[in-house]
């Protein structure tokens, strides 16, 4: 009887080996496919998110540069006529200095009533470069006008 059990267990083991013999490497193939899928999902979210953050930063820098430019008033005109207007040359120079200090380049346009700053910068991709997309270009514009006094009540 023990001999029968021994031969049966050998037969069962041999049958299991034959069934499993063709599955070698299946876990590795599944894991590889899952990792590629996970990598693709992360890549679809990471680089656009980082490019969006770069755009938000560039918008802030453009708006701040425009505000710096809008502080360059033509004091002679203001003192003689009471009209609040910008010194366009000084406004452009001040905004460009601010951009340079921020490590940015851009175009500054100033008139006697407003300053407009446009920044174009690029974000170097982290994962999309594997698909041949090395950079994402972002554009930002900020505009500011000179203000006299407080235009809105302060709400604490």
Residue 53 lies in a domain: yes
Domain range for 56:
47-148
CA distance 66 to 142: 6
State how many domains the chain has.
Answer: 1
Please tell me the least confidently modeled range out of 35-39, 93-97, 144-148. 35-39
Residue 77 lies in a domain: yes
Residue 1 lies in a domain: no
Residue 19 lies in a domain: no
Residue 33 lies in a domain: no
Residue 83 lies in a domain: yes
Residue 57 lies in a domain: yes
- In Å, how far are 20, 67, 130 from 31, measured between CA atoms? 18, 54, 20
List, for residues 57-84, the tens digit of each pLDDT value. 999 999 999 999 999 999 999 899 988 9
Residue 15 lies in a domain: no
Residues 61 and 97 sit within 8 Å (Cβ to Cβ) = no
pTM: 0.70
């Amino acid at each position: 009887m023990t001999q029968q059990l021994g031969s049966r267990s050998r037969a069962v083991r041999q049958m299991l080996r034959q069934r499993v013999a063709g599955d070698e490497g299946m876990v590795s193939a599944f894991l590889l496919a899952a990792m590629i899928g996970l990598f693709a999902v992360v890549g679809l979210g990471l680089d656009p998110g980082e490019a969006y953050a770069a755009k938000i930063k560039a918008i802030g820098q453009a708006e701040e540069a425009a505000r710096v430019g809008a502080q360059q008033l033509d004091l002679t005109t203001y003192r003689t006529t009471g009209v609040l207007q910008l010194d366009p040359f000084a406004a452009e120079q001040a905004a460009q200095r601010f951009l340079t200090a921020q490590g940015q380049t851009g175009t500054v346009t100033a008139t006697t009533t407003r300053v407009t700053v446009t920044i174009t910068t690029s974000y170097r991709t982290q994962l999309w470069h594997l698909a041949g997309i090395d950079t994402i270009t972002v554009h930002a514009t900020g505009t500011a006008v000179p203000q006299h006094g407080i235009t809105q009540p302060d709400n604490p």
